[in-house]
């Protein structure tokens, strides 16, 4: 049951208001006179809206709509009692969307460092699974990304305390390990990996770091002024000055076009694909070419060194094997 | 929405929950006494109300009204399908769910409505906002995740188009890993368990309510994403030497259990169970000249032969 995409906003809010009442009524009825404030906070509704809704409730019931079959609303000294609300004694069941949102959030949260695997979240998820009819811990699993123990926690606390960090960082694209001092702005999970947005003092600019490439992190005493809200984690884009290569990819190598940002995609003969990719660092291209072998051909490169990056890398690896 | 409409939707829900038998549209109109008199206007209003209830997930069922000739369609809401079974959550548990939902948000899916039904927003969300960890767990491609979850819960088969072919699958579990959603289940045509990437679905997911299935007795394993383990053959144990700079990453990726040897220079020897030799080669080559397959000899020879062909 999904609400139709693009349904008018008025329709959505109609359902929202009814849906909220169908959740609020059983809760009030099951409690002995909760206060208006308590209800408002618990159900995230304004006092004015709640009182409006309660007024309408007095006109709701079942046939023959005599006083004892209409919901009886009593508001006294800021406390609320509901009687004759048996028809709404339980909330409406959870839709698949609502069940999924809770189970997935719970599963993902359990996977975070320090995640609750035995405490209240775990027992809540087990109870919820029983009600939804799924196997606890089995129906949905969410892995946000790998990190080394302690790294994510240290980065998150540094972000919230505005403390500078020193990263022992392995730059995969450049294939080099270096030490960076970074003002950490935000930690986000995206596309199955964790990223740190921050200002890198070596680069003197904003940089994006993969948290799984952080070998070690030291939280320094130095603090920094956090950037304005909106700038902390805006995506970084590849500039026009990054050199490009044009590749031809065999059908088996089409995944490259799905995995990396490419432009100028065109079909060539026998199901091959021609694409242009940005090469942020030479080792990245070397890696791609030695893995793909005959399934990729460099057609054109902005930098001459990129033209034979594949054979050059293959020879270097061969020398490690004592061959070639 | 007008107060009159809110009142009408609530009374319609109550009426159809309480009725012992399906009620025809005419009976509903007569009992509620709030719909427009004019027939077309009534039909339009009634249709909209039904749509609104269904959009909320109210199980509105259509059945033939008994004892009426000619047959007339009637409506009712079965209580057992409407009422949420009480999971009996403690305040601590409700608060833990709320905290989890504030930490991890799925694009396009809100946990709030579910929380309200379970007893409201309890506890606080801690410093989740301050620490900048409102996590977007990827978008939900084609909106297929929730219908699949519904089918897993209801234990009914689903039908969808995948790689230009209509598949019928008993869905067992959903996995979000490496940035993508996967569903594992039993593929009817192939008579075997298969894993499907949701971003490769070429249709929406259609649940087949009459095609119920039993879940397997043993736990369904999560999706296998280590590419060198894809395949059914007898695994070969490979030993791979990885340089110091890359060692932390491979250990984290494979887990500490994979480390067979730590050398004084910081490099490590890891073991990997290989069932897919092409994917193994591809993985090892991502380390360029910072990794070396030590054993077995034939795997090492294959990589050397591959590289010699590239070097030429």
Q: What is the pLDDT of residues B11-35, one digit of tens each?
A: 999 999 999 999 999 999 999 999 9
> The domain A151-231: what is its CATH number?
2.30.30
CB contact at 8 A, B260 and A290: no
Tokens 């060692």 found at:
B247
Decide if B54 and A1 are in contact by the 8 Å CB cutoff.
yes
CB contact at 8 A, A117 and A47: no
CB contact at 8 A, B16 and B76: yes
CA angle B240, A314, B305 (to 5 degrees): 70
Among the partner residues B121, B153, B245, nearest to A177 by beta-carbon distance: B245
Those residues whose C-beta lies under 8 Å from the C-beta of residue B21, and which sit 6 or more positions away, are: B65, B66, B74, B76
Decide if B120 and A233 are in contact by the 8 Å CB cutoff.
no
Those residues whose C-beta lies under 8 Å from the C-beta of residue A203, and which sit 6 or more positions away, are: A180
Percent of chain A with pLDDT over 90: 44
Q: Compute the nearest-CA separation of B232 from chain A (Å).
A: 21
pLDDT of residue A6: 38
b/e string for B202-217 if b means 16 or more Cβ within 10 A?
Answer: eeebebeeeeebebee
Tokens of A226: 């956090």
Tokens of A194: 């964790």
pLDDT of residue B135: 53
Cβ-Cβ contacts under 8 Å between A and B: the total is 371
Q: What is the DSSP letter of A295?
A: G
Which DSSP string corresponds to A111-122?
A: HSTT--SSSHHH
* Alpha-carbon distances of A263 from A254, A282, A305, rounded to whole Å: 13, 19, 21
Q: Compute the nearest-CA separation of A51 from chain B (Å).
A: 12
Tokens of A261: 């940002």
For B185, phi then psi, to 5°, come to -175, 180
pLDDT of residue A170: 86
Q: What is the pLDDT of residues B198-210, one digit of tens each?
A: 888 999 999 999 9
B105 touches chain A (CB under 8 A): yes
Decide if A92 and B54 are in contact by the 8 Å CB cutoff.
no
Give the containing element (helix H, strand E) for B260.
strand B259-262
Tokens of A98: 């609502």
Strand partners, B194: B185
In this predicted complex, what is the ipTM?
0.78
SS3 call for A236: coil
Q: Could you check whether the bond before residue B229 is cis, i.e. omega within 30 degrees of 0? A: no
The pLDDT mean for chain B works out to 87
Decide if B104 and A213 are in contact by the 8 Å CB cutoff.
no
Q: What is the pLDDT of residues A15-67, one digit of tens each?
A: 788 999 999 999 999 999 999 999 999 999 999 999 999 999 999 999 888 88
Query: Strand (E) positions, chain A?
Result: 72-76, 79-83, 140-142, 163-171, 176-190, 193-200, 205-210, 214-223, 244-249, 262-267, 273-278, 296-301
Closest CA to B174 of A230, A234, A138, A40: A138
* Alpha-carbon distances of B253 from A260, B195, B225, B294, rounded to whole Å: 21, 22, 12, 19
pLDDT of residue A256: 85
Q: pLDDT band at A322, cuts 50/70/90?
A: confident
Tokens 């609530």 found at:
B10
A60 CB burial (10 A radius; 0-12, 13-18, 19+): buried
Report which of residues B221 and A247 the model is more confident about.
A247
Give the containing element (helix H, strand E) for B15.
helix B3-18
Tokens 């169970």 found at:
B273
Confidence check: pLDDT of A7 > 50: no
Q: Compute the nearest-CA separation of A307 from chain B (Å).
A: 13
Decide if A96 and B150 are in contact by the 8 Å CB cutoff.
yes
Confidence check: pLDDT of B139 > 70: no
Task: Give the chain B residue whose CA is nearest to the CA of A141.
Answer: B175
Task: Give the chain B residue whose CA is nearest to the CA of A297.
Answer: B310
Give the containing element (helix H, strand E) for B24.
strand B23-24
Task: Give the chain A residue whose CA is nearest to the CA of B50.
Answer: A15
Those residues whose C-beta lies under 8 Å from the C-beta of residue B272, and which sit 6 or more positions away, are: B228, B237, B238, B240, B254, B258, B280
The pLDDT mean for chain A works out to 85
Tokens 């119920």 found at:
B212
b/e string for B7-19 if b means 16 or more Cβ within 10 A?
Answer: bbbbbbbbbbbbb
Decide if A98 and B111 are in contact by the 8 Å CB cutoff.
yes
Rounded CA-CA distance B292/B300 in Å is 8
Task: Give the chain B residue whose CA is nearest to the CA of A109.
Answer: B100
Decide if A100 and B103 are in contact by the 8 Å CB cutoff.
no
Confidence check: pLDDT of A232 > 80: no
Positive or negative: CA dihedral B300, B306, B310, B312: positive
Closest CA to A18 of B14, B36, B39, B19: B14
CB contact at 8 A, B118 and B97: yes
**B 198-257: CB under 8 A from A:** 215, 219-220, 222, 245-246, 248-249, 252-253
Task: Give the chain B residue whose CA is nearest to the CA of A122.
Answer: B93
Tokens 């775990």 found at:
A122
Decide if A324 and B308 are in contact by the 8 Å CB cutoff.
yes
Best of A14, A233, A258, A324 to mutate (most B CBs within 10 Å, chain B): A14
Decide if B93 and A133 are in contact by the 8 Å CB cutoff.
no
CA angle A20, A25, A28 (to 5 degrees): 120
Q: pLDDT band at A107, cuts 50/70/90?
A: confident
Among the partner residues A23, A60, A175, nearest to B117 by beta-carbon distance: A23
CB contact at 8 A, B299 and B277: yes
SS3 call for A287: helix
Tokens 């993969």 found at:
A210
Q: How many CB atoms lie within 10 A of CB B108?
A: 13
Query: Strand (E) positions, B65-155?
Result: 73-76, 104-105, 135-136
Pairing relation of β-strands B135-136 and B156-162? unpaired
Strand partners, B63: B74
CB contact at 8 A, A52 and B3: yes
Confidence check: pLDDT of A307 > 60: yes
CB contact at 8 A, B60 and B87: no
How far does CA B71 lie from the centroid of its chain? 41
CB contact at 8 A, B118 and A64: no
Task: Give the chain A residue whose CA is nearest to the CA of B113.
Answer: A98
B-chain CB neighbours of A215 within 8 Å are 248-249
Rounded CA-CA distance A185/A227 in Å is 7
Q: pLDDT band at B171, cuts 50/70/90?
A: very high
Query: Strand (E) positions, A55-192?
Result: 72-76, 79-83, 140-142, 163-171, 176-190
Decide if B115 and A102 are in contact by the 8 Å CB cutoff.
yes
A-chain CB neighbours of B90 within 8 Å are 120
Length of chain A equals 324
Best of A29, A64, A96 to mutate (most B CBs within 10 Å, chain B): A96
Confidence check: pLDDT of A181 > 60: yes
Q: What is the pLDDT of residues A203-212, one digit of tens each?
A: 888 888 888 8
Decide if A87 and B18 are in contact by the 8 Å CB cutoff.
yes
SS3 call for A322: coil
B-chain CB neighbours of A2 within 8 Å are 143, 146-147
Q: What is the pLDDT of residues A218-231, one digit of tens each?
A: 999 999 987 765 45
Rounded CA-CA distance A54/A17 in Å is 12
Among the partner residues A89, A286, A315, nearest to B311 by beta-carbon distance: A315
Q: pLDDT band at A4, cuts 50/70/90?
A: very low
* Residues A9-88, CATH architecture: Orthogonal Bundle (1.10)
B-chain CB neighbours of A289 within 8 Å are 310
């Amino acid at each position: 049951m999904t609400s139709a995409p693009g349904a008018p906003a008025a329709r959505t809010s109609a359902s929202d208001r009814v849906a909220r009442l169908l959740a609020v009524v059983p809760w009030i009825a099951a409690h002995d006179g909760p206060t208006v404030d308590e209800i408002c906070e618990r159900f995230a509704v304004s006092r004015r809206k709640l009182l409006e809704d309660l007024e309408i409730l007095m006109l709701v019931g079942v046939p023959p709509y005599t006083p004892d079959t209409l919901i009886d609303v009593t508001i006294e000294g800021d406390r609320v009692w509901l009687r004759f609300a048996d028809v709404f004694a339980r909330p409406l069941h959870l839709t698949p969307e609502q069940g999924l949102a809770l189970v997935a959030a719970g599963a993902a949260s359990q996977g975070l460092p320090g995640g609750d695997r035995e405490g209240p979240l775990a027992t809540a998820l087990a109870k919820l699974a029983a009600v939804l009819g799924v196997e606890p811990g089995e129906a949905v699993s969410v892995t946000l990304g790998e990190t080394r123990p302690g790294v994510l926690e240290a980065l998150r606390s540094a972000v919230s305390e505005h403390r500078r960090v020193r990263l022992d960082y392995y730059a995969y694209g450049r294939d080099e390990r270096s030490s960076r001092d970074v003002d950490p702005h935000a930690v986000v999970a995206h596309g199955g990996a964790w990223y740190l947005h921050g200002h890198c003092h070596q680069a003197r600019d904003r940089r994006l770091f993969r948290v799984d490439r952080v070998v070690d992190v030291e939280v320094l005493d130095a603090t920094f002024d956090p950037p304005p809200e909106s700038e902390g984690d805006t995506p970084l884009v590849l500039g026009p000055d990054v050199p490009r290569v044009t590749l031809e990819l065999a059908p088996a190598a089409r995944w490259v076009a799905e995995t990396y940002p490419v432009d100028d995609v065109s079909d060539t003969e026998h199901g091959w694909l021609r694409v242009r990719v940005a090469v942020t660092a030479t080792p990245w291209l070397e890696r791609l070419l030695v893995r793909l072998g005959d399934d990729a051909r460099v057609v054109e490169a902005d930098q001459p060194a990129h033209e034979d990056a594949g054979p050059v890398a293959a020879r270097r690896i061969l020398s490690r094997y004592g061959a070639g | 929405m007008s107060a009159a409409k809110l009142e009408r939707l609530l009374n319609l829900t109550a009426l159809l929950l309480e009725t012992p038998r399906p009620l025809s549209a005419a009976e509903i109109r007569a009992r509620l006494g709030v719909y427009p008199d004019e027939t077309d206007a009534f039909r339009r209003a009634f249709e909209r109300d039904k749509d609104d209830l269904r959009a909320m997930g109210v199980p509105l069922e259509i059945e033939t009204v008994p004892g009426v000739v000619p047959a007339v369609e009637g409506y009712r809401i079965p209580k057992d399908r409407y009422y949420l079974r009480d999971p009996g959550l403690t305040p601590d548990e409700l608060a833990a769910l709320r905290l989890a939902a504030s930490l991890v948000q799925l694009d396009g899916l809100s946990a709030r409505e579910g929380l309200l039904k379970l007893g409201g927003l309890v506890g606080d969300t801690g410093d989740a906002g301050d620490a900048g960890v409102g996590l977007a767990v990827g978008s939900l491609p084609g909106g297929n995740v929730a219908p699949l979850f519904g089918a897993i819960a209801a234990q009914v088969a689903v039908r969808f188009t995948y790689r230009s072919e209509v598949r019928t699958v008993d869905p067992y579990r959903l996995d979000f890993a490496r940035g993508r959603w996967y569903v594992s289940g039993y593929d009817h045509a192939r008579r075997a368990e298969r894993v499907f990437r949701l971003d490769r679905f070429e249709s929406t997911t259609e649940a087949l309510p009459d095609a119920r299935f039993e879940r397997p007795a043993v736990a369904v394993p999560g999706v296998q994403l280590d590419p060198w383990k894809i395949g059914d053959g007898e695994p070969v144990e490979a030993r791979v030497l990885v340089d110091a700079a890359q060692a932390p990453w491979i250990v984290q990726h494979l887990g500490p259990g994979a480390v067979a040897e730590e050398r004084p220079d910081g490099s490590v020897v890891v073991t990997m169970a290989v069932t897919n030799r092409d994917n193994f080669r591809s993985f090892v080559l991502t380390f360029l000249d910072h990794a070396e397959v030590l054993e077995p000899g034939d795997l090492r020879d294959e990589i050397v032969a591959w590289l010699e062909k590239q070097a030429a």
